[in-house]
Amino acid sequence: MSQTGDSVAVVTGASSGIGRATAERLAGAGYRVAVNYARNERAAKAVAASVAGRAYAADVADARAVADMVDRIERELGPIGVAVSNAGFYEEVLIDDIDDDRWSRMLRVHLGGAFHLTRAVVPAMRSRGAGSIVLVASELALIGSPRASHYVAAKSALIGFGRSLARELAPQIRVNIVAPGPVDTPLLPDRDRAAAYTSTVPLRRIGHPPEIAEAILHIATATFTTGAVYSPNGGVVIQ
């Protein structure tokens, strides 16, 4: 059972990859899980069925859609104790080719999605005097990337956003950041699966979604932790 007093968790971008594994892990820990998706309804409903949860459609870049989703979750499943902002996408584009639309979409999905979810769940969490928010960033926010400056900018902003929220919302609500390293999902470039890359990783491999889900559950329920950046990355970044 959950350790927050409330047993409902919402995970955005939960139809596949890290989001799916997180929904499964939270369900295994006793949470009723709201599985958010933007487009892949069939996959989201399959995840929801497998964890005895419910699927909820909402583009996290749309503030009204997220607010409506949170309202539905609280009416249908109960008070949200844990909110995981995971929805996102990755693309490699050199700075010369990042047009205004690409830049805007990257920020609206990653940073805007976290903002919209947080703004929607905070009032009820605050009124109950408890809650836990986890923002999923990336190890690239800690080291940069020569191919995805807009992605790194969005993920780096998530870290600053989360740290600021941790101070603002304490002591009732804890806010933490998980910044995964290379993980075996469809978003990972093929070159990062090759031995030429994995041989440079201290643990000599890429991660698996359940390992990141375990990190998310851990920090979501770590009752004396807020404002932390937890980066399960196989040793790619050692701080």
| CATH number assigned to the domain comprising residue 118 | 3.40.50.720
Q: Residue 236: what are its φ and ψ, rounded to 5°?
A: -60, -40
Q: Write down the number of H helices and E strands in the chain.
A: 8, 7
Q: What is the pTM of this model?
A: 0.94
Coil vs helix vs strand at 122? helix
CA 39 to chain centre: 17
pLDDT in tens, 21-71: 999 999 999 999 999 999 999 999 999 999 999 999 999 999 999 999 999
21 found inside a domain: yes
- List, run by run, the mean pLDDT of 10-residue segments along the chain (239 residues): 64 97 98 97 98 98 98 98 98 97 98 98 97 98 96 98 98 98 88 88 94 98 98 90
pLDDT value of position 2: 42
Residue 199 within any structural domain of the chain: yes
User: Which pLDDT score is estimated for 187?
Assistant: 82
- Write down the pLDDT at residue 214: 98
Domain count for the chain, please give it: 1
Q: Which residue in 16, 75, 78 sits closest to 50, CA to CA?
A: 16
pLDDT of residue 1: 39
- What residue numbers bound the domain in which 70 lies? 8-230
Is 128 within a domain? yes
Dist. CA 214–CA 5, nearest whole Å: 20
Polymer length of the chain: 239
Among all chains, which residue has been given the structure tokens 């923002």?
A: 135
Residue 37 lies in a domain: yes
Catalytic residue among 31, 37, 56, 151: 151
Q: In what order do the strands lie in the sheet with 173-178?
A: 54-57, 32-37, 8-11, 80-85, 131-136, 173-178, 229-230
Residue 143 located in a structural domain? yes
Q: Is residue 90 annotated as part of the catalytic site, yes or no?
A: no
